[in-house]
Amino acid sequence: MVFVNPAPASMASGEFYDTEGAAYYLSPAKLESDYADVRFARELKLFREFCPRGAVLDVGCGSGGFLFQLLRRWPGEYAVLGTDASGPPLDYAESRGVPVVRGDFLTQDFDGRKFAAVTFWAVVEHLAEPNKFLTKTRALLRPGGVCFLLVPNLRSLAQRLLGVKYRYVYAQHLNYFSARTLAQLTQQCGFEIVATRGTHFNPVVLWQDWRSGGREVANAERGALLQRTTALKQNPWLKPLKAGYRLAEHALAAGGWADNLVLVARSPSAPAKT
C-alpha cells in the first residue's frame, strides 16, 4: 500500500476543498465538463449493470454531475442524494436540482435511510481514513446493496512510465491503490468483491507530463485540459479515431495498465452489525 505520511492537515480534514480547492471545482471549465453528456459515460454504463434502480448516495459528489445524469436519463428509477466535504459545489448541485445533505459523512445518519448503491467516483484516494468511510458505507447499504469505487491505478501505464512526474501524484491524493490493495481494503471492511475493471486512458496527459518533466500542473490548466478532452469526445468527426482509442483502452485495461481502477463491491445479504 502506498500512502502519504504525514498527510497535510488541510487535505486530511477536507478543509482544502472548501477553500483553495473550491475555485477549481467550481471553475467554468470544470462545471461544463462535469455536466457534459460524455463525462460519466463509462461510470453510468457500469452503474446500470449492477444497480438498475433504487436509492443512490454519491459520496464526494462535487457539483452533482453524476447524479444529475441519473435523474435526467432514467427519470423515476432512482432516488438520489449527494454529499461532499465542500459546501460551494453542493450549492451548485442544488441549483441543478440534485438533492444534497451537508455535514460530516462519518457522523451523518442520513435520517436512517438505506441505499441500494453508494458511489465514490475519484474520492477514496483523497481520504485520510478510507476504511472508516467504507465501514460506514456498509452500514448505509441495504442487504445486497452495491458500492462503486473509482481510483487512479498505481500500476497504470502512465504511472509506470512517469513515476512521480505523473500529474496525479500530488498533494490531494493521500492513497495510491493497485487492484490488489483496493480489493483488500474493501474486503477488510466487510464487502464481497463483485467486479474489478480497468478504465480510462488519456494519452494527452501522458504526452504532456513526459514533455514537461513533471512540473506542477495548475488547477486552471487541469480544467482547460478536461474541457478540451470533453470537446474531443463530443466531436462526431473523430469517430474513426475513437474506435482506435477504445481498442487501446481495452487492451490496457486487460493488462491492468489503464489509468483508473473501478471496483464494484456488494454488501452481504445479512444486515451489517453495528
SS3 annotation, 19-62 = CHHHHHHCCHHHHHHHCCCCCCHHHHHHHHHHCCCEEEEEECCC
Question: Poorest-confidence range of 20-34, 87-101, 160-174, 189-203?
Answer: 20-34
Residue 224: the pLDDT is: 83
Q: Can you tell me which residue has the cell 513533471?
A: 214
**180 confidence band (pLDDT: 50, 70, 90):** very high
List, in sequence order, every residue forming a beta bridge with 100; answer none if it has no partner.
82
Tell me the mean pLDDT in the region 249-264.
96
What pLDDT digit, counting tens, does each position of 29-40 carry? 899 999 999 999
Instruction: Determine the Cα–Cα distance for residues 31 and 271; give it in Å rounded to an integer.
Output: 38
Is residue 85 a contact partner of residue 114, using CB atoms and an 8 Å limit? no
pLDDT of residue 13: 85
Output the 3-class SS for 113-159: CCEEEEEEECCHHHCCCHHHHHHHHHHHEEEEEEEEEEEEECCCHHH
HSE-up of residue 82 (Cα within 13 Å, Cβ side): 30
Cα-Cα-Cα-Cα dihedral of 215, 125, 99, 22, to 10°? -30
**Domain 2-266 in CATH: superfamily?**
Vaccinia Virus protein VP39 (3.40.50.150)
The angle, 0 to 180 degrees and rounded to 10, between the axes of the packed helices 41-50 and 65-73 is 60
**Whether 64 contacts 100, CB under 8 Å:** yes
Backbone phi and psi for residue 152, each to the nearest 5 degrees, phi listed first:
-60, 145
| pLDDT tens track for 107-149 | 999 999 999 999 999 999 999 999 999 999 999 999 999 999 9
11-20, 71-80, 138-147, 249-258: least confident range: 11-20
Looking at beta carbons, which pairs linking 72-79 to residues 24 or more positions away fall under 8 Å? 73/44, 74/48, 77/52, 77/53, 78/53, 78/54, 79/54, 79/55
Amino acid letter, 27: S
User: Which of helix, strand or coil describes residue 9?
Assistant: helix
Sort 12 into a burial class: Cβ within 10 Å, 0-12 / 13-18 / 19+: middle
> What pLDDT band is residue 226 in, cutting at 50, 70 and 90?
confident
Sign of CA dihedral 112, 114, 115, 118: positive
The CB density around residue 36, as the number of other CB atoms within 10 Å, is 18
Is it the case that residue 101 has pLDDT exceeding 50?
yes
Read off the pLDDT of each residue in 23-46 and give the average, rounded to a whole number.
91
What Cα–Cα distance (Å) separates residue 78 from each residue in 66, 135, 194, 207, 214? 12, 23, 21, 39, 42
Q: Where are the domains of the chain?
A: 2-266
Q: Stretch 262-271: mean pLDDT, rounded?
A: 85
pLDDT grade, residue 17 (50/70/90)?
A: confident
Q: How confident is the model at residue 274 (pLDDT cuts 50, 70, 90)?
A: very low
